[in-house]
Amino acid sequence: MAVYTKVDDTALNRFLAIYDIGEVLSFAGIAEGVENSNYLLRTTKAHFILTLYEKRVDADDLPFFIELMTHLSAAGMNCPVPVAARDGQILHELAGRPCALFSFLDGTFSRFPNRAKCEALGSSLAWLHVKAQSICRRRANALGPASWTPLLFSIGSDANILADGMQQTINRHLEQILSDWPSDLPYGIIHADLFPNNVLFVGDRLTGVIDFYFACEDILAYDIGICLNSWCFEADGSFNLTKSRALIQGYESVRSLSVAEKQAIPVLAAGSAMRFFLTRLYDWLHTPKDALVSPKDPMEYWTILQFHHSVSGVSAYGLDSSSSSGGTR
């Protein structure tokens, strides 16, 4: 359960006194999520999410996240709306942690997204890319390509627990990815963590995008690679081409991809797989056995990485790299 910091009734009531949100009807921890402590708050006026930011989130980054969500919600995106207290401030402190209150979004995430959900996800991702570019603040990708070699170095020979010679094998893959990494593709604000559990649906209708705490500035198409890996692979590790086509079709209905962006999809998706493989492996090696949240299996992303290294071109993703098509930039 992702509630690391407990909040007692006295502290909660003192904190909520600075808001005009009605009287508390219920307050309970939310099991989803791994980075922060989240509570569902129900009052006589509405439902809210109270988020307490834990140590893995840099407090200096919080104004960027708040501005991004405020900007996107004002532009019409279904994402959490930061709630200001009576004094107009959004960020506060509770139980020794920075915190903020947000609007509640209807819907549930899909463990097995279908084609329609993948297409809806693609269009929402492109919409985010287009609308987020006008925010004032920027944030570098702390888990971008520059971080992967130092991360592998910190893992070191412990990687060989997975298999004999694994450290060298990972390093070879990583060197290839970095040597092929593009440097001239469109940059902008990306979500960087748009897994299925961060997208809410009612039926096949997308009702919310949440968890912006890895959002940063990076290659826009890198976000597509992240989504291809997290939405288009089945439980047995096989790649679902139908879902991939739907996701990219949805994306290009809003923002067209250039020929260069399409051609870079294999290495961007491989880089995304390497990023999540390395961070999962690090957590798997260093998370205490009695931790509140169990580390995720890194080998899921190793399997995904092998797929990207096996493909011969962008057609494997349902793409035609000969032309740019779709929506407007």
CATH no., domain 115-317: 3.90.1200.10
Instruction: Give me the pLDDT at residue 329, please.
Output: 41
The fold of 9-103 is Phosphorylase Kinase; domain 1 (3.30.200)
As averages over each run of 10 residues, the pLDDT of the chain (329 residues) reads 80 96 94 81 97 91 97 96 96 96 96 96 98 94 97 97 96 98 97 97 97 97 98 96 98 97 97 98 86 83 96 92 58
pTM: 0.94
Distance between CA atoms of residues 148 and 150, nearest Å: 6
Give yes or no for a contact between 174 and 152, defined as CB atoms under 8 angstroms apart.
yes
Instruction: Give me the pLDDT at residue 285, please.
Output: 93
* Domain range annotation of the chain: 9-103, 115-317
**Tokens representing 157?**
């020979």
Instruction: Specify the residue for token string 């079709």.
Output: 249
Q: How far is CA 32 from the centre of its chain?
A: 14
Instruction: Specify the residue for token string 């081409």.
Output: 241
Q: Which amino acid, residue 107?
A: G
